[in-house]
Amino acid sequence: MAPTPPDQGEISAEVFDRLVELAALALEPEERDYLRRELNGQLRAIRALDAIDVDETLPITSHGVPYSDATRPGIRKDRAQEADKADAILAQAPEVENRYLVVPDIPQEALE
Amino acid sequence: MTEALVDLGALEIARRVRAGETSASEVLTQTLRRIKDIDGRAPTSQPYEPEPDDRAYIHAYVSLAEGRARSQAEAVDRAVQAGQDPGPLAGVPVAVKDIFCVEGTRSTAGSRILETFTAPYTATPVARLEAAGAVTVGKVNLDEFTFGSSNESSAFLPPPGNPWDPTRVPGGSSGGSTAAVAAGEAALSLATDTAGSIRQPAAFCGVVGLKPTYGRVSRYGLIAFASSLDCPGTVSRDVSDAAAMLGAMAGADPADATAAAVEVPDYLAELERGVEGLRIGLSPNYFRLAYPDPETGELREQSIDPEIEAVVHQTAETLASAGAEIVEGVPMPHTHLGIPAYFVISRVEAASNLHRYDGVKYGYRFPGPVDGLAEMYRETRGHGFGVQPKLRILMGMYVSGAQYERDYYRRALRVRSLIRQDFDGAFTAQGEHRLDALLTPTTPTTAFELGRVYGDSVLMQYADLLTVPANHAGIPGLSIPAGFDSGGMPIGVQLLGPDFSEGRLLRIGRQFEIASEGETWRGRRPGIVATR
């Protein structure tokens, strides 16, 4: 028998708020309604996975194709290489000062 | 009427450039002229106000790399004049899906959060195509971060239209790629396929799309979505061009630890060996399966579009006449679980990959006042991402949460193993069916109207119903045009094979092209090309 999923209900407003906080997303109110509705629609589709028995000992893999020793790429040699792209990379940062990335204040809290 | 240079296949263009019958510069000039004629106003991130005229154009390109392309074309021409080898793809115009980094070009992933990002390096598959003489014309549109099946979720609008009927979607996420190639705005496009993003739009636009085996083509320089599923692959107008393009890109890469150390065969040399004796399977699980009712959204078992089913059977008959053995009734019992498992696995990986966009290192940063770093992150990601990335991040975080991980993520990974076992069972030489390839429909429907599905994230995901099993299994899949529906929209069929069997799939596809060459549907051209 398939295990009972932990939460047969929907993603509640409280759980949704917690996810949004963890995901670091500022959302508009109408966006929140749409996203929560779609998430719950997707969860209903995901529950199709509960309809079959899945052997808990079935191995899981990091991708579909198994690599053998012959096909697995070898580990690169660990050696230093000249890199000439530092300026091009830094040029992509939204705010740079004296080659340091600038970010807004990080509020400090006293250590207990 | 002489065929326009831009409507020739990649191999024929390269042959003419190499022989000095035309120049790479001339091919580029004509390609840019075709783009100017039919691409219409360039997509932007401004609030989108549709104009009636929009649907008379394709809108495939997000940005052109004209100066860069001109230098490449001139270098090819100089090599030809100097008697040097300009490469097997000399002068072939290539459109790169804007999910690949190309040094010095804007590389946006179709997202506002990367709108200002100029790549400081070039992706391995792009570098290899260019080393083979191909000319990168520009970057083509896609669903934001590849998240979609219609190309409507891009931050850059108008969305691309289908060249066969621009009021319909080209499919996605590689909609810009397949629309551009179908309309002669490029001979080839480099695209990616995570759940069907090459094969589904290839079927919708009547072109050839190949998702290689996972690890066949390096992912270095590809902006990541779901790293265990993402595959760079080819879009072309015929199978021979797909073979040539794959041959130029495939192979191990020290910069990608998942690019397999498997020798790259000469795909062109094998191409016309025919299908005599090959065992090609048909599975009932690809013709009737559970997916949402297009009208009510209710998940129920139903048959795919009967016109598409008929075309798959005709394709099987054509291949049988050419000597293949058709094996019916091959069980693939977990096919219908591909999308539910994908809803979990791809979201977990997407949430992880999208954490890097924080407004610090590159791309967009919220310009307004913020109260500290954490608020800057939230505002940047809130304004920078569209709704599709937000949905994927939130679902990924939910199903990988400590209390749910075992029942959602681990279960989905085991279902992925079951899908892999379906294919292993069909292909193994010790099994009942011993297939060389499985022949399936590529999509359950032909291209739908713009605006009809977009917004319903469940229905949209199910557009990949028949393509996603190959991504879970990691195996190669080739979609080839095989006919049209009664509304004049293209129908694609899909060939699936064991790991690294691209050469065999291309051979079967090529045999089908040869055997169907005289059929009237082969002569059809997209209206937008025929009328201009």
Between A44, A56, A92, which is nearest B118 by CB? Answer: A92
User: What is the average per-residue pLDDT within A11-17?
Assistant: 95
In this structure, the dihedral spanned by the alpha carbons of residues B70, B75, B80 and B83, taken in order and rounded to 10 degrees, is 170
The two three-digit tokens of residue B232, written as one number: 């760079």
Helix B387-399 × helix A29-46 angle, to 10°: 50
Question: Is the Cβ of A83 closer than 8 Å to some Cβ of chain B?
Answer: no
User: pLDDT tens digits for B202-228?
Assistant: 999 999 999 999 999 999 999 999 999
pLDDT of residue B1: 43
- A-B C-beta contacts closer than 8 Å: 205
How far is residue B391's CA from residue B394's CA, in Å, rounded to a whole number? 5
Please indicate whether residue B211 is annotated as part of the active site: no
Closest-approach residue (CA) in chain A for B113: A94
Residues of chain B found within 8 Å of residue A48, distances taken between Cβ atoms? 290, 299, 336-337, 340
How far is residue B163's CA from residue B527's CA, in Å, rounded to a whole number? 7
pLDDT of residue B174: 98
The two three-digit tokens of residue B431, written as one number: 């099994």
Give the CA radius of gyration of chain A: 24
Question: Is the Cβ of A53 closer than 8 Å to some Cβ of chain B?
Answer: no
ipTM of predicted complex? 0.94
More confident residue, A105 or B218: B218
Please indicate whether residue B303 is annotated as part of the active site: no
How far is residue B209's CA from residue B314's CA, in Å, rounded to a whole number? 20
- Shortest CA distance to A23 belongs to which of B515, B347, B112? B347
How far is residue B393's CA from residue B294's CA, in Å, rounded to a whole number? 26
* DSSP symbols for A15-81: HHHHHHHHHT----HHHHHHHHHHHHHHHHHHGGGGGS---TTS---SSSSPP-TTTSPPPPP----
Q: Are A60 and B372 in contact (CB < 8 Å)?
A: no
How far is residue B518's CA from residue B121's CA, in Å, rounded to a whole number? 45
Closest-approach residue (CA) in chain A for B419: A64
- Shortest CA distance to B166 belongs to which of B33, B59, B63, B62? B59
Give the gap in angstroms from C-alpha A36 to the nearest C-alpha of chain B: 9
How far is residue A100's CA from residue A93's CA, in Å, rounded to a whole number? 10
Q: Are A74 and B472 in contact (CB < 8 Å)?
A: no
pLDDT of residue B52: 87
pLDDT of residue A1: 38
Selecting among B25, B150, B154, B173, the annotated active-site residue is B173
How far is residue B212's CA from residue B505's CA, in Å, rounded to a whole number? 10
Q: Where are the alpha helices (DSSP H) in B250-363?
A: 267-270, 306-321, 338-353
* CATH 1.10.260 holds for A1-53: no
Burial of B343 from C-beta contacts in 10 A (0-12 / 13-18 / 19+): buried
Which residue, among A1, A34, A39, A42, would best test binding to B if mutated, counting the most B CBs under 10 Å from its CB?
A42
DSSP-derived secondary structure letter, B61: E
pLDDT along chain B (532 residues), means of 10: 85 98 98 97 95 94 98 98 98 98 97 97 98 98 97 98 97 98 98 98 98 98 96 98 98 95 96 97 96 85 96 98 98 97 97 97 97 96 98 96 87 97 98 98 97 94 97 98 98 98 98 97 91 70
pLDDT of residue B2: 59
Q: Are A106 and B343 in contact (CB < 8 Å)?
A: no
Question: Is the Cβ of A9 closer than 8 Å to some Cβ of chain B?
Answer: no
Give the gap in angstroms from C-alpha A80 to the nearest C-alpha of chain B: 14
Q: Where are the domains of chain A?
A: 1-53
Place of tokens 């690949």: B100
State pTM to two decimals: 0.96
- Shortest CA distance to B481 belongs to which of B172, B205, B283, B95? B205
Between A19, A91, A92, which is nearest B394 by CB? Answer: A19
User: pLDDT tens digits for B8-64?
Assistant: 999 999 999 999 999 999 999 999 999 999 999 999 999 999 998 999 999 999 999
- Shortest CA distance to A35 belongs to which of B390, B52, B125? B390
Residues of chain A found within 8 Å of residue B477, distances taken between Cβ atoms? none
Residues of chain B found within 8 Å of residue A11, distances taken between Cβ atoms? 398
Question: Is the Cβ of B361 closer than 8 Å to some Cβ of chain A?
Answer: yes
Q: Are A55 and B414 in contact (CB < 8 Å)?
A: yes
Residues of chain A found within 8 Å of residue B365, distances taken between Cβ atoms? 94-95
Q: Are A49 and B412 in contact (CB < 8 Å)?
A: yes
Please indicate whether residue B197 is annotated as part of the active site: yes
Question: Is the Cβ of A39 closer than 8 Å to some Cβ of chain B?
Answer: yes
Whether the per-residue pLDDT at A60 is higher than 60: the answer is yes
Whether the per-residue pLDDT at A6 is higher than 50: the answer is no
Selecting among B25, B149, B189, B197, the annotated active-site residue is B197
Give the gap in angstroms from C-alpha A111 to the nearest C-alpha of chain B: 18
pLDDT of residue B532: 67
Question: Is the Cβ of A24 closer than 8 Å to some Cβ of chain B?
Answer: yes
* DSSP symbols for B201-241: HHHHHT-EEEEPPTTSS--TTBPPS-TTT-EEEEEESSHHH
User: pLDDT tens digits for A19-31?
Assistant: 999 999 999 999 9
How far is residue B523's CA from residue B517's CA, in Å, rounded to a whole number? 9
